[in-house]
Amino acid sequence: MNINLYTLKNLLYKMSKKLSLKQFLMKSGRFQKTYGCVEAIKQGRVTINNKVMLNSSHFFNPKKDLVKLDNEKLRTVSKLYFIMNKPAGYLSQKSNEEKNIYDLLNNISLPRESVLSLHAVGRLDKDTEGLLILTNDGKLSNIIMEPKSEIIKKYFGILENRVDKGKIKELEKGIEIEVDDVKYKTKPCKIKIVGEKEIYISVSEGKKRQIRLMFESIGNKAVYLRRVSIAGLQLGKLNVGEIKQITREEIMEKLEF
């Protein structure tokens, strides 16, 4: 990991002071999507210290300033941390049209505001299973997603065709893929072959559909993917579809921060 503990703590401290207005509104659990809170701001329904604020990107200190929505005082909900074993067939983002991971939160007892405040830290695509972190702690999310953190994500995969050791070495060195019509050279990764078609792959980045695109680039296909760990944080005995509440300290310890 290239970023040291002092730098991470310093970054966390600097980020702890202020929030943008739209970030604060999303943390209040009153809105399902960012679009909704941005529209409320444009409509003049939001005030800071009793003054209408029309700039959704305005930064302020929630501990010092009073925010109201339709003249009702707002507070952010308590910080929450969960890990989930995401099933295949579920989106990682909120949706009214398709099954998504937030539907699974109905299985735990949480106020609606708390559920709406949660977001996934690093999405998995619809067909991929495995470990997800869910939280409403934006500062922690930013640290985990920061590219300099180089947090290792490990996946188990089953391929359509037999493993070609020569082409696997190409992937390990880094290979060119196309993400949303833009060419991208992947960083070096580690791949462990555990069967004729089974592998473990560990990457330090998370481009959209990256692992699937990597195998497609060598003429193969990942027909099954499951994320088994994020640094030292593991699924353990968590069954598919299950959710477990943990603490911020547990996450920081497992991520070696």
Catalytic site positions: 125
Q: Helix, strand, or coil here: 153?
A: strand
Residue 54: both structure tokens together? 């029309």
> H-helix or E-strand containing 114?
helix 112-117
Residue identified by tokens 């559920």 is 115
- Ramachandran region, residue 29 (left: φ > 0; alpha: ψ -120 to 50; beta: rest): left
Q: Helix, strand, or coil here: 133?
A: strand
Contacts for 210 with CB less than 8 Å, ≥ 6 apart: 177, 179, 186, 203
Residue 184: both structure tokens together? 């991208």
171 — phi, psi (to 5°)?
A: -65, -40
* Sign of the four-CA dihedral 93, 256, 110, 66: negative
Q: Are 185 and 175 in contact (CB under 8 A)?
A: yes
Q: Whose CA is closest to 216, among 153, 167, 155?
A: 167
How distant, in Å, are the alpha carbons of 91, 181, 213 from that of 201? Answer: 22, 24, 13
199 — phi, psi (to 5°)?
A: -140, 160
